[in-house]
Amino acid sequence: METNLEKIKEISKKREDENWKFRSFLKWTDISERKIDSIVHGLYQEVSKEIDCRTCANCCKELQPVMDEDDIQRLSKGIGISVTEFIEKYLAKSENSEGYRFNTSTCPLLVDSLCSHYDHRPKECRSYPHLHKKDFTSRLMNVIDNCSVCPIVYNVYELLKSRITRRK
What is the end-to-end Cα distance of the chain in Å, rounded? Answer: 23
Radius of gyration of the chain (CA): 17
Say if CB 168 and CB 81 are below 8 A apart.
Answer: no
Average pLDDT for 41-45: 97
26, HSE (Cβ side, Cα atoms, 13 Å)? 28
pLDDT in tens, 117-148: 999 999 999 999 999 999 999 999 999 999 99
pLDDT score of 167 more than 70 = no
Kindly list the domain boundaries of the chain, sorted by start residue.
Answer: 5-59+129-167, 64-112
Cα–Cα distance, 112 to 87 (Å, whole number):
23
Cα–Cα distance, 149 to 113 (Å, whole number):
15
Cα–Cα distance, 108 to 90 (Å, whole number):
7
- Strand 114-115 vs strand 110-111: parallel, antiparallel, or unpaired? antiparallel
Of 139, 129, 136, 106, nearest to 53 (Cα)?
129
pLDDT in tens, 66-115: 999 999 999 999 999 999 999 999 999 987 778 899 999 999 999 998 99
Count of all residues that appear for the chain in the document = 168
* Residue 110 bridge partners (DSSP): 115
pLDDT score of 168 more than 60 = no
Residue 125: phi and psi, rounded to 5, are: -70, -40
